[in-house]
Amino acid sequence: MSAQSASPSTLERFAVSSARRRRDRVARGSILAATALALIPLVLIVYYLLEKGLGSWSTGFFTTDPTGNTFFKTSSIGGIKSAILGTIEIVALASAIAVPVGVGVALWLVEYGRGSVFAQLVRFFVDVLTGVPSIVFGLFIYIVLIVGTGGTYAGYKGSLALSLLMLPVVIRSAEVVLQLVPSALRESALALGAPRWKVIARVVLPTALPGMVTGVLLAVARGAGETAPLLFTAAYTHLTTFNLGSFMNSLPVQIYNDVTSPTTAVVNRAWGAALTLVVMILLLNIVARLISRRSRVA
Amino acid sequence: MTANPIARAVSASPTTGGGRLLLQRSPLARLPDTVVRYGLTALAALILALIVYFFVRLVGQARPAFAKEGVVSFVFGNDWNVNAEHFGALPLLVGTLITSALALLIGVPVAVAAAIYATELSPRRLRGPLTVLVDLLAAVPSVVYGLWGIFFLAPKLQGTEQWVADRLSFIPFVGGGLVTIPNYFITGLVLAVMILPIVSAISREVMTTVPADHKEAALGLGATRWEMIRLAVLPYCRSGIVGGAMLGLGRAIGETIAVTILIGDAPQLGHHLFNQGYSLAAVIANEFGEAQGLHRSALFAAGLVLFVLTLLVNGLARGLVIRAARARGQSGPAAAGPGVAGAVAGA
């Protein structure tokens, strides 16, 4: 504003009244305060996790299984080896199921289905899947694979429940990335005589790959943190096992079990396990963000 | 047809032995295309079939409980008594609704404010880190929220809650009575933190679509920063923000483990806000392990009620977000859904 050239009267005319200026300042102040408020829980959680969690991290913590007798023998409650390995096994199998299926459905939606009525229907059902509470996925798998077959809890049943949970995240993110592949690329390949499937395999998928990896890693991170679907699909056990057909421990279920314990040492083990889980999930998130920053598409 | 030189060349080209055009692929060479096409279609159809199948099986498992109690008295009966084999889910339903409503009441204003700050007010350099920090809240697993809530937040806030409960004792269902460590309020508070990232991410996404013209016009007419936000940004984003809030509500309703740890798992209606109760998701997580017969069927029925409830809320939310996108003249799923950012926050 050219203050020198303006006469006092114009300045007065354009000036913002003090009431409006005050309201502006109050509103901006409260927005800033609310933003700070939003960050307080994060700071508190990270601080408390580090303080409590690091305290229970010890040399034997990652290399021993939890022991069953936790009430009297507070000194030897064991570590979380079976929980870490179980989480890795269950989530790996869940990703092996959810990623190919999810990417396949996303490919169909973008390359074949497009705006058709059936594609709209599939999109709607994917949205439905996104909203289904995680514990209901556990119920689904329980009904079909445990009530239905008369079997018991098993690691692979937990994986199936988690893969249902991860599926919509994979489909949604892959679809968004696939849509960003320039159609000129597809058209050039088709014009050169490449069949449709080869265009998908050699042109569309490689172009979209980095973006899709981001979505997949985020889905994995989501699956790794879930407790509810595992409670009555993979259940809880102390022992490390590499047999996906038997009961299998996992970090979230271990934490959930330990939270309800009356013994301080066991609760401390829950903090140690929680810190481990958060670090694992954060690493996945950071890698996902780095990859998405590198990729040209998305 | 004949105007197209390629089509003319194709139709004019000599046929090979089997009456096939020279530029056409042999049936064998077309096979992989057909396989991929129908394979992917089958995969998409599988998703549909799977959900319908699961739903039908869930209804089948819930039927004994509905048959004994009647659907209406199961949902609205105020008596969840496992020993007497009497199952009315009202205490659970009320617990779910109270805690989710609290989560919205506390979480949405903060989330929207954080989104406004990140898109309109913050220095450009702060924008990225701020977004990442709020999104980080989504990376914390729900069991860790439960752990933190029950061992840190609940004991720390108990004194304050008691003070508030005493001051507000004249309001029924809010004040008066003794504050228990696990209660509705603390559950709602932690749920508010948990839905913050998704509500904030969607609000942010909608706010970045506000045309610069609108904002510049408001500022050009002499509006202050806040008046610009109130007159140009918020009305434009209203349905998008409401949609995001509804998605957060869906998340809060379905949240299980954190609620199970924080709500106290008492199978009756709490007398007031600072009393312990139960929720639909928590009852399944807590009782499923040892449930038999009718009890188990009742838990499946609770799961069905929960499923239908989240379906309704999410359907409403999607409708609002899509309508907001349409109103802005955008189309396509990228504009309609929360997109990658939504998926990120959703994770």
DSSP B156-184: HHHHHHHHHHHHTTTSTTTSSSPPPSS-H
- For B144, the closest chain A residue by CA position comes to A274
The pLDDT, as a whole number, for residue B322 is 75
Confidence of residue A1 (pLDDT cuts 50, 70, 90): very low
**B184-194 pLDDT tens trace:** 999 999 999 99
Interface test with B, best of A13, A37, A43, A108 (most B CBs within 10 A): A108
Residue B112 inside a domain? The answer is yes
Q: Look up the CATH number of the domain holding residue B322.
A: 1.10.3720.10
All residues of chain A having their beta carbon less than 8 Å from the beta carbon of residue B290 are none
Highest-confidence segment of A96-100, B75-79, B207-211: A96-100
The residue of chain B nearest to residue A260, with distances taken between CA atoms, is: B261
Tell me which amino acid residue A257 is: N
pLDDT tens, position by position, B51-77: 899 999 999 999 999 998 888 889 898
Interval A57-94: pLDDT, tens: 887 888 888 876 555 555 577 888 899 999 999 999 99
Would you call A173 an interface residue with chain B, using a CB distance cutoff of 8 Å? yes
Look at chain B and report how many structural domains it folds into.
Answer: 1
| Spans of all domains in chain A | 8-56, 81-294
pLDDT at residue A73, as a whole number: 53
Q: How confident is the model at residue A124, as a pLDDT?
A: 86
pLDDT of residue B19: 60
pLDDT of residue A122 exceeding 70, the answer is: yes
Contacts of B340 in chain A (CB under 8 A): 172-173, 176-177, 211, 214-215, 298
Taking a contact as any Cβ pair under 8 Å apart, which residues of chain B between 63 and 102 contact chain A? none
Residues sharing a CB contact under 8 Å with residue A90, sequence separation 6 or more, in sequence order: A155, A158, A159, A162, A230, A234, A248, A250
ipTM of the complex: 0.87
In a domain, B48, yes or no: no
- pLDDT computed for residue B306 by the predictor: 94
Residue B67 lies in a domain: no
According to the model, what pLDDT value does residue A296 have?
55
- pLDDT at position B20, please? 62
Task: Indicate whether B25 belongs to any domain.
Answer: no
Does any domain span residue B334? Answer: yes
Kindly state whether B142 is in contact with chain A, defined as any CB-CB distance less than 8 angstroms.
yes
Hey, are the CB atoms on B136 and A42 less than 8 Å from each other?
yes
CA distance A104 to chain B (A): 6
Question: Are the beta carbons of B343 and A200 separated by less than 8 Å?
Answer: no
Nearest to B319 by CA among B305, B336, B335, B296: B336
Encode pLDDT of A176-204 as tens digits: 999 999 999 999 999 998 888 999 999 99
Phi, psi (degrees; rounded to nearest 5) at B86: -120, 120
Give which of A146, A177, A169, A179 is closest to A98, Cα–Cα.
A169
Task: Please tell me which residue of chain A has the smallest CA distance to B259.
Answer: A228
Of B105, B115, B346, residue with least CA distance to A35: B115
Q: Which domain holds residue B244?
A: 90-346
Q: Do B110 and A139 touch (CB under 8 A)?
A: no
Q: For residue A260, which residues of chain B lie inside 8 Å, CB to CB?
A: 261
A131 at interface of B, judged by CB pairs closer than 8 A: yes
Q: What is the dihedral of CA A213, B253, B115, B220, to 10 degrees?
A: 120
**Cross-chain CB nearest to B254 (options A111, A133, A218):** A133
Q: What is the mean pLDDT of chain B?
A: 85
- pLDDT above 70 covers a percentage of chain B that reads 87
Q: Which superfamily does CATH assign the domain made up of A81-294 to?
A: MetI-like (1.10.3720.10)
Residue B2 has what pLDDT? 45
Give CA angle at B228 (B222, B233), nearest 5°.
Answer: 155
Any domain includes B33: no
